[in-house]
Amino acid sequence: MNRIQQAAEVIRTEADALLNLTHKLDDNFDKAVTAILESQGRVIITGIGKSGLIGRKIAATLSSTGTRAVFMHPVEAMHGDLGMVSPKDVVLAISNSGETIELNHLLPSIKALGCPVVAFTGNPKSTLGQHADLVIDTGVEKEACPLGLAPTSSTTAQLAMGDALSVVLIDAKGFKPDDFKKFHPGGALGQRLSLQVSEMMVTGEMVPLVAASASIGDALAALDARRLGAVFITDDKGLLLGLLSDGDVRHLMAAEGFDPARPVSEVMTRSPRSVAINAPAYDALNMMEAHQITVLPATDDQGRVKGLLHLHDILGKGAFQFNGN
């Protein structure tokens, strides 16, 4: 078996495990959903090792979709973190074998608090299964690991069951896209980055343009009038020939023999970087970041200047900041 075949076999094995999981769903799943909906507290998710990592992801998904959730490490819980748990919470304990010592040592203390315990386990008859109030079977026939040792199919099953729980809760709570946005304020930037350059660029008379025959003084006047950080030099057909930025001007004025009557074509940056008007904004942002620039001419497929895109236009006129500054 070559590497591609082996990889395909891993995917098939895990896919089969997920399909078999649908047959394990029973009333306990529905009761778990009801317990979470009726709870006045949070979902406390706990597990160790790979199951713990899956638990962290489930907690993140629940939290971002309207169900308050937090991950609690079993060992840390035995050394004080159990204080975060209240009788109003629902505890979701994850262990494929159901015999994880650190997790099972925690169960009596959780039960003493009066929290309902939901278990994701591949062994319903295990210690975890016997102590849980509700058992959701996430067992798999075999791991994708050829040695049968590394958690592969089993962790995929746990993750899928966590997603199933989260999505059912989304529907049960009537969670809407507007609610999702409230929990993802940074998503506003993501929305802007998915727009085309043409949807946010400066256009028309606001674009600072001068002809190739213009003087440096003419370019400075256009630069000062628009205050956008650069002026574009074009030919009589509107094709982009060059660019003069604020930084270029500072260098020119610092040099000896500065002459504002000198043709701007002699000092401009020729064939400057530009972005297509139909390109996504994230392409422009990547270009700006890679080359440490804040302004880009936006051109059509003929190379004619149609607009100007400033970093502030992408980030939302001061709504976002780089580097925490």
Which residues are documented as binding site for Zn(2+)?
73
- Total number of residues shown for the chain: 325
Q: Is 230 exposed, middle or buried (0-12, 13-18, 19+ CB in 10 A)?
A: buried
Taking alpha carbons only, the member of 72, 69, 154, 167 closest to residue 120 is: 154
Residues 6+ apart with CB under 8 A from 286: none
**What number of H helices and E strands is found in the chain?**
13, 12
Longest dimension (CA), the chain: 89
Q: How far apart are CA 312 and CA 317, in angstroms?
A: 5
Count of alpha carbons within 13 angstroms of residue 29, beta-carbon side: 19
Q: Which helix (H) or strand (E) holds 121?
A: strand 117-121
User: What's the CA gap between 50 and 168, in Å, rounded?
Assistant: 24
92 beta partners: 45, 118
Question: Which residue positions form the known binding site?
Answer: 73
